[in-house]
Chain A
């Protein structure tokens, strides 16, 4: 399916929850959906017989200061051979959205990474802990306003 058809299929099923189709001059087009509906949209994308997105290629966080964080889902269908990029915006002060780790198991660690580095909270996730940084780390390093630590457990970070 072409991106326009994919967008319409989603629009038809979810109406207002599907916000917009962005087709930038460079890069791939993406569909923005409302954060609250992410899990339902994901499940629909996987299950619907004309979509069959059986694979989540990547799940990443993005920081759009001053107001938003975003989660980006790259999906691929190995039966239909089409791809789709979903995007969901969440407010920076309370970045929460439903997990898709039960739709695609692979999302489990990806979501933990996004939590670790951006502080995005995935509600319903079975084990939302830091995955790369130590558990006692302070702050979320990939946010653009991140302040570097001066000390970690008694080790000075700069001379």
Chain B
């Protein structure tokens, strides 16, 4: 873009459609409002004025998965919660991203060995884009994760035909995921809507 700058009339920008779409997406990542344990406190600090997540366009915490782009899994994922997290993830519209905040969400953390009730990493049930280490990670670490995620989004290809190889990979993953979903037993009665 810089080469062309100031050579045309006002309000004309040259770019690719991909770049445009990606820029829109990465500048308004709306996270979902939920926290599972101590890490959530850091996430709240990030959302508040001192650190201000809004500077990166990601401060609009939504109270429903239907309006969210980013799921920040902030805290310890118990098995009881894991079932619900999976459902929340499924309720988010594409494109959706997941950040595992803290070692609990990344790999079980302090509960890895003796936490009979703790899922050993949220990636066991949903795909994760960014892992942020720390117990808890400082707000700066969350920012770093967010910036890395933005970088990831910036390089996505949106409007393009997939190569046969890419297509087969995606098909395979989708198929596996669907199989997995079917395997999960239904919720017990008292939790069914």
Listed in ascending order, the chain A residues whose CB lies under 8 Å from chain B are 133-136, 141, 146, 148-149, 152-159
Residues of A within 8 A of B79 (CB): 134, 152-153, 155, 157
Q: Which residue of B lies closest to A147 (CB)?
A: B116
Residues of B within 8 A of A133 (CB): 80, 117
| B116 A134 Cβ-Cβ under 8 A | no
Q: Which residue of A lies closest to B181 (CB)?
A: A154
What's the minimum C-beta distance from B74 to chain A, rounded to whole angstroms?
20
| B185 A153 Cβ-Cβ under 8 A | yes
Q: Which residue of A lies closest to B79 (CB)?
A: A152
Q: Which residue of B lies closest to A156 (CB)?
A: B124
| A155 B116 Cβ-Cβ under 8 A | no
Contact with A along B78-120 (1 / 0, CB 8 A): 0110110000000000000000000000000000000011011
| B125 A155 Cβ-Cβ under 8 A | yes
- Interface residue? B184 (CB, 8 A): yes
Name B171-191 residues within 8 Å CB distance of A. Answer: 180, 183-185, 188, 190
* Chain B: interface size category: 10 to 19
Instruction: Give the total number of A-B pairs whose CB atoms are below 8 A apart.
Output: 34
Q: Which residue of B lies closest to A130 (CB)?
A: B80
Q: Is the interface of A mostly helix, strand, loop or mixed?
A: loop
| B80 A134 Cβ-Cβ under 8 A | yes
Listed in ascending order, the chain B residues whose CB lies under 8 Å from chain A are 79-80, 82-83, 116-117, 119-120, 124-125, 180, 183-185, 188, 190
What's the minimum C-beta distance from B78 to chain A, rounded to whole angstroms?
9
Residues of B within 8 A of A148 (CB): 116
Instruction: Pick from A136, A158, A159: contact of B188, CB below 8 A.
Output: A136
Residues of A within 8 A of B80 (CB): 133-134
Report Cα–Cα, A146/B183, bound state, in Å. 27
| A141 B188 Cβ-Cβ under 8 A | no
25 cross-chain CB contacts under 8 A: A133-B80, A134-B79, A134-B80, A134-B83, A135-B190, A136-B188, A141-B116, A141-B117, A146-B116, A149-B116, A152-B79, A152-B82, A153-B79, A153-B83, A153-B185, A154-B183, A154-B184, A154-B185, A155-B82, A155-B119, A155-B124, A155-B125, A156-B124, A157-B120, A158-B120
Report Cα–Cα, A156/B124, bound state, in Å. 8
Report Cα–Cα, A141/B120, bound state, in Å. 17
Report Cα–Cα, A158/B114, bound state, in Å. 11
Residues of B within 8 A of A134 (CB): 79-80, 83, 188
Additional A-B contact list (17), CB under 8 Å, known A133-B80, A153-B184, A154-B185: A134-B80, A134-B188, A135-B190, A136-B188, A141-B117, A146-B116, A149-B116, A152-B79, A153-B79, A153-B185, A154-B183, A155-B82, A155-B124, A155-B125, A156-B124, A158-B120, A159-B120
Report Cα–Cα, A155/B180, bound state, in Å. 10
Report Cα–Cα, A134/B83, bound state, in Å. 11
Residues of B within 8 A of A146 (CB): 116
What's the minimum C-beta distance from B34 to chain A, rounded to whole angstroms?
18
Residues of A within 8 A of B124 (CB): 155-156
